Amino acid sequence: MYQLHPYQTKLVNQARQALANGNKSVLLQSPAGSGKSVIIAEIVRLTVSKGGSVMFMVHRKELAEQITNSFRENEVDLTRCTILTVGKIANRLKILPHPALIITDESHHSLAKTYRKIYDYYAGVPRLGFTATPWRLNGKGLHDVYDDMVLGPSIDWLIENHYLAPYKYFSVKLVNDEKLKKSSTGDYTNKSIDDAVGRTIFGDVVKTYQEKTPGQQAIVYAHSVEFSKEVAEAFRRAGINAEHADAKTPTAERERIMANFKAGELKVLCNVDLISEGFNVPDCSVVIMLRPTESLVLYIQQSMRSMRYRPNKTATIIDHVANYSRFGLPDDEHTWTLDDRKKRKKKESDAVPIRTCEFCYAVIPASSTVCPVCGKAIQRTESEMEVDHEVRLEQIHGRLDMKSEYNSVRFGRMKPSEAQTMEDLYGIAKARGYKSGWAWFQGKKKGLIKN
């Protein structure tokens, strides 16, 4: 049976309490890699142990198989569980056992018609949903299907407390953004990505891997099957064991590839939309992103795939398509809500001001004068120095508050563990939208407040 971490036990209790308070449906948000399957398995075990039955629904067969294994490991009575894909449940509503609780994995999908059909059929049954990213590309919130939301710990907190691995982020951009075109879904079309990325980058992808992470296990995210296969072939030509897999790869072959990767025999696994949500590869330390996207969900799921915790591990994210310029870094704070989200204006970015080091290509705060990764002095352009000079002058005259761009850069990228003064902590709090009490509590723990 699983031994939950304290924050996981807290989420289990918060979920159960939220339902006990009269909410019919509750969404639990917790970051990628925080152990949602463990939390789900414990909630199911508690429900089943009291005589209840559970319906667990997912959108992919592989995830159903994975959660079934988690339930077994947590000593859940599987005879009281229905674990199926959404499509199979929707087609069997009249013959399936009536559940006491419905749990939906990756609940950012749950506004789709098939999910709604199931929810309507079991209108009186309490529901829990789980996701790392309660966010949809079209800006529609999840308030239509959830009454309340429970928030898990932040990514920064999980890193600082050794539940997620720290990371280095490199971006050697190989894409022409001007050629990217959106489809009706809001994300980029495969044809435009072909045009934007081109067909001659494979050597650069392999070279960067060899320079930054030689010998480490890597997952490559591509936008098309053809492209993914070409990347795998480029790695093999360089003497690096690599294979491709996608949703249409024959089951036996795909299982062989996954088993070899988990065993460490396969160094580079290239895929298309297969290894994102829910795929657990603890020993993978490198992610290589070759697919530009407008989806925050896809970005977080893919970029954090290498951040599963292991002692002394530092993850590496190699972003060849500059997704960081759209969304910032994986541990940037987000205001998760069930409400609808205003769509970004064209060319508007969610990212904190950051840049790439011209020497090692690490992604670092825009205000850096020395790269924290390679230690080289950063050469700043005249326009950057002019902007910085103007900001400093305005600050002297008191016309900027703590939410100014200057302080957002300074404090927004500073981690609590790096704070030396209460001014630093209050700056971090304001840059991230925390309450001032958070800074006081952190200062108390650090000994900056004596009484």
- CB contact at 8 A, 83 and 67: yes
**Dist CA 79 CA 113 (whole Å):** 28
Please say whether the beta carbons of 45 and 145 come within 8 A: no
In single-letter form, the type of residue at position 87 comes to G
Question: What percentage of residues in the chain have a pLDDT greater than 70?
Answer: 85
Closest CA to 168 of 318, 323, 291: 318
Residue 219 contacts residue 286 (beta carbons within 8 Å): yes
Evaluate whether 166 touches 314 at the Cβ level (below 8 Å).
yes
| Sign of the alpha-carbon torsion through 370, 376, 377, 380 | negative
37-51, 81-95, 283-297, 392-406: least confidently modelled range = 392-406
In whole angstroms, how far apart are CA 100 and each of 87, 127, 287? 20, 9, 40
Spatial CA neighbour of 209 closest among 236, 246, 190, 227: 236
By CB atoms closer than 10 A (0-12, 13-18, 19+), residue 327 is: buried
Q: Is 177 exposed, middle or buried (0-12, 13-18, 19+ CB in 10 A)?
A: middle
- Domains of the chain by start residue, with CATH: 6-153 (3.40.50.300), 167-331+347-365 (3.40.50.300), 382-446 (no CATH)
Q: How far apart are CA 29 and CA 31, in angstroms?
A: 7
| Residue 185 near residue 56, CB atoms below 8 Å | no
Higher pLDDT, 248 or 78: 78
- The residue behind tokens 């296990």 is 217
Rounded to whole angstroms, the Cα distance separating 81 from 423 reads 52
- Residue found by looking up tokens 């609808």 in the block: 340
Pick from 376, 442, 377: nearest CA to 415: 442
Cα 76 to the chain's mean position, in Å? Answer: 28
User: Is the CB of residue 90 less than 8 Å from the CB of residue 138?
Assistant: no
**DSSP code, position 342:** P
Residue type, 228: S
Nearest-angstrom CA–CA distance, 19 and 39: 16
Buried b (16+ CB within 10 A) or exposed e, 370-384: ebebeeeebebeeee
Record the pTM: 0.80
pLDDT score at 188? 94
Digit-coded pLDDT (tens) for 397-443: 332 333 343 344 456 667 777 777 777 777 777 766 666 667 776 77
Task: Pull the structure tokens for residue 36.
Answer: 């949602």
The 10s digit of each residue's pLDDT in 122-132 is 999 999 999 99
C-alpha 302/C-alpha 273 separation (Å) is 9
142 pLDDT tier (thresholds 50, 70, 90): very high
- Say how many C-beta atoms besides its own lie within 10 A of residue 350's C-beta: 13
CA gap 294, 135 in Å, rounded: 12
* Separation CA 424–CA 312 (nearest Å): 28
Nearest one of 345, 349, 318, 335 to 135, comparing CA atoms: 335
pLDDT at 400: 31
pLDDT of 396 reads 31
pLDDT surpassing 70 at residue 343: no
Report whether pLDDT(61) > 60.
yes
pLDDT of residue 403: 33
pLDDT of residue 104: 96
Residues contacting 112, CB < 8 A, separation 6+: 86
Residue 346: how many other CB atoms lie within 10 Å: 5
Give the model's pLDDT for residue 420: 79
The per-residue pLDDT for range 173-226, each reduced to its tens digit, is: 888 889 999 998 899 999 999 999 876 688 899 999 999 999 999 999 999 999
Distance CA 145, CA 381 (A): 49
The chain-wide mean pLDDT, for the chain, equals 85
Q: Give me the percent of the chain exceeding a pLDDT of 90.
A: 60
pLDDT at 64: 86
Residue 435 pLDDT: 61
Whether 45 shows a pLDDT value over 90: the answer reads yes
